[in-house]
């Protein structure tokens, strides 16, 4: 009976899986590995100070309520991820646990100094089946032998659109209908052409077209093999050139872009879902436009993830037990899920998708559309590939040469070939260093 009372006490804080396997014994059920992990969070008597960089204050407060003998210190440096990198190199100064987002995780891919969460006492392999495979894979080291972070948010790339303007011009306007319609490139460009004749734009920049049309593929895989040289990217560049010919990109300052969103000049907006929580208040949904925006899947047959977060545990941390329990709490608890959904961030912990906060998420600014449930369906279809230490340099080369090639109306395959040759030449030294660190060269 004491166990039952204990579970009731923490029910508001921890999400307990609704599905259990039948077996003998009291209650006739057997706990899954995920259940055991969550029960362990509740049972452990934690204490001491826990230094967390990049935390969610609400999640930290709930964690301390669950573990009253733990005090969380969360005053992090301004650029805390880079501060973690410096601390690992110096051998001191790192926190017990730190949030690292996708754009920076590559900095830790070949580095030492982070705990391998596959190893004891973490044994994270037990949790893997309950997490989105794409997010789990992204959280591994470059040699894929270690799990260097526990993923706790994952965001799809999506399209917002002005449903009233779509409807007024005779095009599908309901989210499911729009998603299906724009998945066909011919449908999308035919609509974009007709709407452009009415003074409307579809993109903020030409490179946005390739962002949308191509899969979220890094420039190199984890063995440093170049990836962006296939027909998919040739087609994506073709789409960008087509958008340029139709004058579909509204290229302007942020202030002018916001005005264009509010005035109905720019009628689609592409971004990761986790960055759209306040879009209907700050972006294009003001005054007469309130409630006229909707969410749809990306056009041109694309589905991709774009942004995720993990918690890493530096080996030099002093409270590893509490750090691991915090990371699990941030990824798997109901409290955390409810907090993240407020800004349309979703956990890749799949059982959380069945929580009321996700299933009953109606946003007035999106016409009452359930943005979180929409995001879950988008996540299921999305893919991302991990970045490498060459990503920043490669990204700059890609953007500059792509824009130049499109302006000159060069053949798409020729543009792609020139970009690859330039990257392989300019990044050869960096590539060799990375391969050497991996023991592959």
Sequence ranges of the domains in the chain: 2-154+309-367, 205-249+390-441
pLDDT score recorded for residue 416: 93
Joined together, the tokens standing for residue 244 give 């340029």
Distances (CA, A) of 204 to 169, 186, 252: 21, 20, 8
Distances (CA, A) of 262 to 24, 36, 194: 61, 50, 20
CB-based contact 20:27 (threshold 8 Å): no
| pLDDT tens string 2-49 | 443 333 333 333 332 322 233 333 344 555 544 544 554 555 689 999
Indicate the CATH number of 2-154+309-367 among 3.40.50.410, 3.40.190.10, 3.20.20.100, 3.40.50.300.
3.40.190.10
- Strand, coil or helix: 203: strand
Which range of 256-265, 270-279, 368-377 scores highest in mean pLDDT? It is 368-377
Number of alpha carbons in the 13 Å side-chain half-sphere of residue 257: 15
- pTM comes to 0.82
- Give the least confident one: 78-92, 320-334, 424-438: 424-438
Joined together, the tokens standing for residue 92 give 């001191």
Listed in sequence order, the residues at least 6 apart from 244 whose beta carbon sits closer than 8 Å to its beta carbon are 206, 406, 407
| pLDDT tens string 321-372 | 999 999 999 999 999 999 999 888 999 999 999 999 999 888 877 888 999 9
Q: Rounded distance, CA 359 to CA 356, Å? A: 5
Q: Rounded distance, CA 237 to CA 242, Å? A: 9
Interior/surface letters 361-379, b for 16+ CB within 10 angstroms, e for the rest: bebebbbebbbbbbbbebb
Taking the CA atoms of the chain, what radius of gyration do you get in angstroms?
Answer: 23
CB-based contact 216:433 (threshold 8 Å): no
Q: Rounded distance, CA 156 to CA 305, Å? A: 4
Pairwise pLDDT comparison (289 vs 143), residue with the higher score = 143
Q: What is the mean pLDDT of the chain?
A: 84
**pLDDT above 60: residue 125:** yes
* DSSP structural state of residue 118: T
β-bridge mates for residue 162, sequence order: 293
Joined together, the tokens standing for residue 274 give 């986790």
pLDDT score recorded for residue 210: 86
CA torsion 59-327-148-216 (nearest 10°) is -40
**pLDDT above 80: residue 166:** yes
pLDDT score recorded for residue 324: 97
Q: Which residue has the tokens 């407020």?
A: 342
Q: Which residue has the tokens 């805390």?
A: 80
């Amino acid at each position: 009976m004491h166990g039952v009372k204990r579970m009731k006490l923490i029910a508001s804080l921890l999400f307990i899986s609704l599905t259990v396997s039948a077996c003998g014994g009291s209650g006739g059920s057997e706990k899954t590995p995920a259940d055991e992990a969550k029960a362990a969070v509740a049972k452990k008597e934690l204490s001491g100070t826990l230094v967390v960089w990049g935390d969610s204050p609400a999640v930290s407060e709930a964690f301390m309520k669950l573990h009253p003998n733990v005090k969380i210190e969360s005053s992090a440096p301004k650029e805390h991820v880079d501060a973690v990198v410096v601390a690992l190199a110096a051998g001191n100064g790192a926190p017990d646990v730190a949030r690292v987002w996708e754009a920076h995780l590559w900095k830790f891919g070949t580095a030492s100094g982070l705990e391998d969460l596959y190893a004891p006492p973490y044994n994270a392999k037990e949790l893997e089946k309950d997490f989105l495979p794409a997010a789990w894979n992204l959280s591994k080291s470059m040699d894929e032998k270690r799990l260097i972070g526990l993923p706790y948010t994952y965001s799809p790339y999506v399209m917002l659109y002005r449903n009233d303007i779509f409807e007024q011009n005779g095009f599908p306007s309901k989210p499911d209908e729009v998603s299906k319609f724009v998945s066909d490139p011919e449908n999308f460009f035919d609509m974009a052409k007709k709407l452009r004749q009415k003074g409307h734009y579809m993109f903020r920049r030409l490179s946005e077209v390739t962002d949308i049309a191509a899969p979220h593929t890094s420039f190199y895989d984890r063995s440093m093999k170049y990836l962006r040289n296939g027909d998919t990217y040739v087609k994506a560049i073709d789409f960008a050139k087509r958008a340029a010919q139709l004058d579909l990109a509204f290229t302007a300052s942020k202030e002018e872009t916001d005005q264009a969103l509010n005035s109905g000049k720019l009628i689609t907006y592409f971004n990761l879902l986790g960055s759209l929580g306040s879009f209907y208040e700050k972006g294009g949904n003001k005054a007469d436009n309130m409630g006229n925006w909707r969410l749809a899947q990306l056009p041109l047959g694309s589905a991709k993830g774009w942004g995720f977060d993990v918690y890493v545990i530096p080996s030099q941390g002093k409270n590893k037990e509490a750090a691991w329990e915090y990371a699990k709490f941030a990824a798997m608890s109901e409290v955390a899920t409810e907090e993240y959904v407020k800004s349309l961030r979703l956990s890749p912990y799949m059982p959380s998708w069945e929580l009321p906060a996700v299933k009953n998420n109606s946003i007035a600014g999106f016409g009452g559309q359930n943005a979180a449930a929409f995001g879950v369906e988008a996540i299921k279809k999305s893919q991302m590939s991990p970045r490498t230490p060459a990503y920043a340099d490669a990204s700059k080369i890609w953007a500059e040469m792509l824009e130049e090639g499109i302006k000159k109306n060069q053949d798409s395959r020729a543009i792609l070939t020139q970009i690859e040759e330039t990257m392989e030449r300019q990044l050869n030294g960096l590539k060799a260093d990375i391969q050497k660190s991996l023991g592959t060269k």
